[in-house]
Amino acid sequence: MDPDELGQLIDVHSAALELYARQWCDDAPDVVQTAFVRLIEQEQTPTSTVAWLYRVVRNAALMQRRSDRRRQSLEARVSQMSPQWFVPSMGECLDSESATHALQEISEECREVVIARIWGKLTFDEISEITNTSSSTAHRRYLEGLDLLRKKLGVSCQNE
Amino acid sequence: MSERITETPREPDEFEQTLGRLQPQTSGISRERLMFLAGQQAARRQLPSHRQRVWPLATAASWLITATIAGLWLQSQQGEPDVQIAKQEPAPAVVPEVIEPPPAATIAESHVTPTDDTPATPQREFDSHWRDAFSLGDDDLLSGRFSRVTAIGVRRLRLPLRPIASENDSPIATATVPDSPATYRHLMQLYLNDQPGFETEGDLL
């Protein structure tokens, strides 16, 4: 992979990849960095590089979570060690801390799709390949997650 | 049954846009390290394949040589028997009293046996003496006559040693005294006996 292309991928997608990995484990920066290293080591660049990175990050984070569960529950650790998933924002209608708590409270399946869709800018086809589901399932989970977030955040606007 | 939805691009609503404006928290990704690794990997791909194999092959060869040497060393250590050098002291023995024989130097001096070990200078004097006795000239020397006479005389005068009877006898062999001294006449007689067809009655005798 060309270094310039890699630099652009890091600048654009590293934060969203960390957010995507943080829902499962605390070592999100290490997981994302490992994914980039594996991308560098690839003889041929994957067809969809961003989707490939999300798949690698997901697998590594889930593996990390399995080892973490032997020590303590994920929820307790997430609430203790990573209280903020977003940069504190000024003047926005949504508080970053509230958004973090709302995301942590919805189901894992819906949260994964929402994060990949909104912050990862992935299509539903790519999300379905990553999550080993169909596109319709991914779409349904996305809509369900948005409704749950609206309720939790007190937003009255309707989808579509 | 999995139903497939053809994704139609639509504009995200206000809530989605609001969520999208939140910036995810980022922390410990080392961009510099990743860029360094990318450059290193790109440079490695540009190298020819045989140059990439040089160091692994050299490492494998060095390990192989080391293992071989170690194996040979261990084998030599196991096969080598323990060598203990023991100094063996001679056993004590009773040494019999040595009975010294009577001095025989005086006897040996009067009966010196002529042998081949006689020094060169006495031999030369001996030859000159014979030469004068036979009144031989240079022609005789060239013809070999002198040599034949000398050889016969020496052979006849060489005296046998008396055999040693036992170990208790004197270690010095005593030379037997010849029956008669080697005279000129005797020597000539011996010489003439060896020469077939030579006149025994002549000027020489």
The CATH number given to whatever domain includes residue A123 is 1.10.10.10
Q: ipTM value of the model?
A: 0.79
**A86 φ, ψ to 5°?**
-130, 155
Which of A54, A73, A92 represents a domain boundary (last residue)? A73
Do A87 and A54 fall into the same domain?
no
Coil vs helix vs strand at B59: helix
Summarize pLDDT for A85-137 with one digit per residue, the tens.
Answer: 888 776 666 788 888 888 999 999 999 999 999 999 999 999 999 999 999 99
Do A65 and A89 fall into the same domain?
no
Do A47 and A91 fall into the same domain?
no
For tokens 């569960």, the residue is A69
Rounded to whole angstroms, the Cα distance separating A43 from B115 reads: 103
Closest CA to A117 of A136, A139, A91: A139
Confirm whether B184 is domain-assigned.
yes
Which residues are within 8 A (CB) of A92 and not within 5 positions of it... i.e. 6 or more apart? B18, B21, B22
Q: What are the chain B neighbours of A32 within 8 Å (beta carbons)?
A: 29
Give the structural domain span for A138. 83-160
Do A58 and A125 fall into the same domain?
no
Do A12 and A47 fall into the same domain?
yes
Summarize pLDDT for B42-81 with one digit per residue, the tens.
Answer: 777 777 667 777 888 999 999 999 999 999 999 998 876 6
Interface A–B counts its CB contacts (< 8 A) at: 118
Do A63 and A22 fall into the same domain?
yes
Report the residue of chain A nearest B14, measured CA to CA: A157
Summarize pLDDT for B142-162 with one digit per residue, the tens.
Answer: 566 666 766 766 666 665 545
DSSP string, A129-144: HHHTS-HHHHHHHHHH
CATH assignment of the domain containing A20:
1.10.1740
CB atoms within 10 A of CB A112: 23
Do A49 and A108 fall into the same domain?
no
Phi-psi region of A69 (alpha: psi -120 to 50; beta: other; left: phi over 0): alpha
**Cα angle value A123/A125/A126 (rounded, 5°):** 70
> Closest to A86 (Cβ–Cβ): which among B2, B25, B30?
B25
Do A4 and A69 fall into the same domain?
yes
Confirm whether A78 is domain-assigned.
no
User: C-alpha B133: how far from its chain's center?
Assistant: 56
Confirm whether B148 is domain-assigned.
yes
